[in-house]
Amino acid sequence: MTAPASTHHAARLEVDGVHLAYQVDAPSAEAPAVVLLHSLGTDLRMWEPQARDLARRFRVVRYDSRGHGASDVSTETVTIERLGRDVIALLDHLGIERAHLCGISLGGLTALWLAVQHPARVDRVVLANTGARVGSAESWEARIAAVQRGGMPAIREPVLARWTGEAFRAAHPDGARQLGEMLDHTPADGYVAACRALRDADLRADAHAVRAPTLIVAGGIDQSTPPALGEALHAAIPGSVLVLLPGAAHLSNVERPNEFTAIVTRFLSGA
C-alpha cells in the first residue's frame, strides 16, 4: 500500500545535507517565539488544534522532524542530540535568540535535551506526554524489528490505539483518520531511525539541570508515557508544574485540545 502524499506545505531549511520542512505563523515578527515539537510518527500538522490560538500572541514555529512529514530521511544516525541540533539550526535560520519550547513524546524528550544543553536559547518549556527515559531497549528493538519486517502497516493499529482513547476515535473520526494518515506517510526508515534515538536516549541524570520554567503535562490513560514518567520529571526539575489530564491518552493535545491549549497559553504567558 502506497503511503499518501503529505498534504501540508512548508518552507524548507537544509541542515547538514537534510532538508527540514517548517512553518511559521505569527501576529508579528516581534512576538515571542514558541517552537512546537511533534511526536514520533506524526508531523507538524498534529499541532493544528493549538497553532491558530497560539499564533494570536506568539510566533509559532512548527517543523517536521527529520524522517517525518515533508522532511528528508536522515543521512546520519539520529540521536536526541541530532534532533536538538536541528532545532538550534532552525532558530538560527529564523533569527530567534530565545524561544519557548512545547514538545510532546519524542518532541518532549528533544525539548528536555535542549533545556539541559542550551539553556540560553530556551525561555519556558512544556514537556507533554514524555519522560527523561521512554520505554526500554527491548521494547524499541521489538518495534524496530516489526517495521523492518512489515513496514508501517505492521505497527499501525497498536500505535493508533495508544495515541488516543476509544471514545475520541468514535467521536472524532476525521481527527483519528488524519492521525492515521500522518503515521502512514512517515517513511519506515525515518520511523526506525527515530525509534533508535528513543531507544538510546536517557536523560534521567540530566533533568535536574533544567532551569527554565517548566510545565509537565501527563495523560491519565497514557500507555506509552504513563503519568509516572511525568511525576518523575516533576520530581527532578526544580520548580516545575505538573498537570494531569484525566482520561487523556498519549496525544493529549489532540484528544483534549481546548484544555491543552488553555493550559499551555497561560503558562507561556507567564501565569
pLDDT digits (tens, 9 = 90+) for 230-240: 999 999 999 99
**Kind of pairing between the strands at 59-63 and 18-25:** antiparallel
Q: Is the pLDDT of residue 262 over 80?
A: yes
Put the strands of the sheet holding 122-128 in their side by side order: 11-15, 18-25, 59-63, 33-37, 99-104, 122-128, 214-219, 241-245
User: Binning pLDDT at 50, 70 and 90, where does residue 5 land?
Assistant: very low
Domain map (residue ranges) of the chain: 11-268
Please list, residue by residue across 178-206, b when 16 or more beta carbons sit within 10 angstroms of its beta carbon and e when fewer do: bbbbbbbbbbbebbbbbbbbbbebebeee
44 confidence band (pLDDT: 50, 70, 90): very high
Q: What is the mean pLDDT of residues 193-200?
A: 98
Q: Say yes or no to pLDDT of 1 above 60.
A: no
Q: With bands split at pLDDT 50, 70 and 90, how would you rate the model's confidence at 7?
A: very low
Superfamily of domain 11-268: Alpha/Beta hydrolase fold, catalytic domain (3.40.50.1820)
**Whether the predicted pLDDT of 202 surpasses 50:** yes
Each residue's pLDDT tens digit, 101-117: 999 999 999 999 999 99
Against a cut of 0.75, is the pTM above it? Answer: yes
**What is the per-residue pLDDT for 8?**
47
